[in-house]
Structure 1
């Protein structure tokens, strides 16, 4: 069923002029800080901005930047935290328009927000414990909780240091999402009679100036037996799930085997993702390996997930795999019409193509579900024209005659192409 939004629009004789300008600023600038001289950069008269009631239009987004029409400059209206605004997406930018009237003019502004090193790497836990058999062979791997640094680029997490490093060493594995999985690798045999408890410090370092770090303690208890680690049947599992899937939906099932017998071969599954939303959305059955949906999905906010699953036996030997889950979009958003400027009066001698109303149409769905078409009622001297992405003007299409028709009631209908 096609969804429609109806809006009744009145009319004013206006014209539109378009331009665009871009700026780049660091995050965390103080309120009132200068972003740029937009009047100068667009070649505008400051008096024109003031008399035209120039203002910032940001649609549904939060207004971080304001226009000082007396000076023709853009200023920080609200402190911008790049991590809160964009997460790990780069480049990070805010987009808005400057709209003025009499005549109507419309300018696009893009402000890129660059990262500063204001976050240190951190671990979810301050310490972690392992119980490892002294029969563990050299080269045995033990996956560790990786640190998280909300900064990006050189300011993000760059390296790990393990001390002391005479028994274990650190090995990193690059992932498709740009992160690095961390493994602790045994490089010489354990001797319980010599060292029953081993204490290590894992430090995560970023590349910023000054450099920042976070540390997690690793406590290892050395035991006997258990000389086989679990092994997953495949390193990567994939699944798809509709964004409106019910809680409890099985996405996929992971499986690992262990050559040991009895309790030493019993495998427990768990999700190891830290400091993100995966564990709030998915769960894995610790016995069967079934990965189930436990939270709410929204394709418009997140289109895929990477779930890190660990298989661990009773001797604390482990293996890991990845579960890639793609979210399937459904048509759950209707188009939204936002009036940018309008008026109720127009002269009968207005020129053809006079702009009377300017509006923006938004539909966050993807593909056909988010493709929107707009039209107006027939047999009226007006027509819709698209100016740029999802921006439309209602303009005169022929001469007006007040004696023939003193007013018009115009209906704009916008529909997406989804089902």
Structure 2
């Protein structure tokens, strides 16, 4: 390291200024400079570190020359021109895009560059000793910037454009804005300065040259005249100067509709022919007012101006095609009125107040409707008919008439008939020409009180045209049934009742039905009875002191007469029974046995006697019931109880005719046997021979039973109450072997089948008939035996 020496400040500044000025002037040369080995008297020298000073390199883009493009030169003050210094280059594009002359330091671009692809390159420079490769200066970075040329035209990235503006807009109304971009460097020259202009679309629209805002340029543009416009916009760089590049775009502008047109009818008068038979609510005509506007601005409302046809017709709007539909409100009648004339007014549903001053926003047309005559069915002079006729009226009697006429101009005659579906039994008939209705048979009000028939009227000129009317026939009642009691009446009278006391109120009924209501009169033995209303009467006692002993029942004949014409009457019988009553009239008894009771007994005594009798009866019933219940529980209780056993004899009879298979009394007393007992299921053909003598020795059975009874009597574990014990005993055998009705069909009828009295050796046979079981009743307390 060299020693530092001081240098006057003024001289150092002058040196630096000199080198800096030189580098700025050259611009294409990188200058290395150092300050050192400068002496200043006593102040000595000051060494300053060596460094780089350079300006930015530039290289033109899109260079088209045949030789490499010269960029600049690297140079250091240590280079004495003796080729001892070597220059090196590294960084972006070193060696491929940029190259350097190692001896002179000249830099060249090997190919054409595009600033829009890469605007600058960063490289590093180094100066080294050519022999030792020792760096003479520290490595430093520098930039080579690609200098822009106008090689890109402006472009509209969002085109083509679509815009809309209301029609009739004033001049200067904003439409839309277009924007063009230029890829050239906006910071260098005018390559990227764009100016806008209209190539096609004048004089309707204009564009701002700087901002690209499009506005209207012509007043009152009418959509109905022209709706769509195509405007061509140009963007040119270089500030619009000659030689600049340009780009274009299309802007499609549509005029949106406003309600600036009223609806208009295509003609002023409309004619329609409508048949008089048209139904109410049907459409009889269509009318339309055209509007040049579109959408909701073209919606039309129609009204009928009050006048001649306002009450007969109505009009509505079809939402799909904006037609006015004329609708019939009331029926048409050619004979009453043949033509109608009225006016229809059309207006917009949504008005724009800005354009109402242009004129009347409505239109009016005249509509004339001529009614066509149509053959119609006859018309009855009444909507319905009601007729009255008395029952039992002779057949052929006229009860009324219906009338219908043809209202058409032809005036065709009318013929009448009765619909057979409404009069299945043919009670009535009608005159086909006059329309008079008569009875066809006798009528019975009690059977059918009202008849509903349908009369058909037909035009003689056109039988297809018919009309119907309902006829109601009321059958009036005549007095043909006598009145009678409403129900059989049976009442009573007390022995101690007083004279004039009401004992019964009864009423009468009548099958007839007079129009003024029913009224009856009552009498008995030519004596009128007191009536309490039109339908009933009171039975009043005329004497006192009735005695049941003398007469218990009275039969009171009552004559009932109605108020019909001719009057009808009948006689009914009221049964009155004489009964015993309390002093207050309450009933005690009406039975005949009560007459023979002692006269001196009071009511309280009689009641006490009756209560005692009832109590005794209850006690007897309870006692008998308990006894039967106890016996039933002993004999018929469940088999699961060890105390109870049910007698069970498995007896197989001799078929359907064997009704006396065995006499149960034989078991109770073996010594008593019926003599000459024949089987009833088989009739023997000959007299049986004498049967062998029955053995009366039953000691073995008695010994067996006594032994069992003794065991039960001495058994301490036996319960202290009566029980049933079942013993199965099989004897020594039976001569008959089997008494089965199946085997009896093949044996000889002369054999004796009556072995029932042989209890000893034949007990097995009885056991076979009754299931080989018998039951013994044992009383452990009394030791009484029952078999």
Smaller-chain TM-score bracket: 0.3 to 0.5
- Normalising by structure 1, report the TM-score: 0.41
- Normalising by structure 2, report the TM-score: 0.23
Larger Rg: 2
